[in-house]
Structure 1
Amino acid sequence: MQSEQNQYTVSGTDIEEVKRKNAASGMSYKEVMEYLASTGGKNTKMFSDTNIDEVKKQTQHPH
């Protein structure tokens, strides 16, 4: 098995180290917004897959 060679940006940043830290840092901004949209967060409509017309129809005419 070959050892992994670290790759660096022009400014000297270790790319693999950044990837490891990002993977361990938790949810991304987009993931947080999608989570909030799915759980009723405010101002998250653009991240929601809820069909507003269907919800209105169901609440106006419950089965």
Structure 2
Amino acid sequence: MKENYKSNHQDTFTVAGTNIDAIKRANERSGMSYNEVKELLAKTTGGRGTWIYSDTNIEEVKRKNQQSNQSEE
């Protein structure tokens, strides 16, 4: 049995009759966006061409590598 959606406000419709508010509600429940998936993959797998989504501080890694190499000598 379908439940009717009732609220205290009027939903917004496009000229073609699409219920914009219903679409927004459905989108909120739909899961990750394409860009969110790309970001997750970049942070968890280090995929190719995903450096813009990485939170790795490159300069810090270089500095730590340099310190590590100096301590080995």
TM-score normalized by the length of structure 2 = 0.65
2 CA distance for matches of 1:23 and 1:42?
29
Q: Which runs of 4+ in 1 moved over 6 A?
A: none
Question: 1:28-39 counterparts in 2 under 5 A?
Answer: 28-39=33-44
Bigger helix share: 2
1:5-55 C-alpha deviation (Å, 9 max, x unpaired): 111012211011111111111111221122122212332111223222322
Unaligned runs of 5+ in 1: none
Unaligned segments of structure 2, at least 5 residues: 1-6
Larger Rg: 2
Report percent identity of matched pairs: 52
How many residues are paired up?
Answer: 62
In the alignment, does 2:64 pair up with 1:58? yes
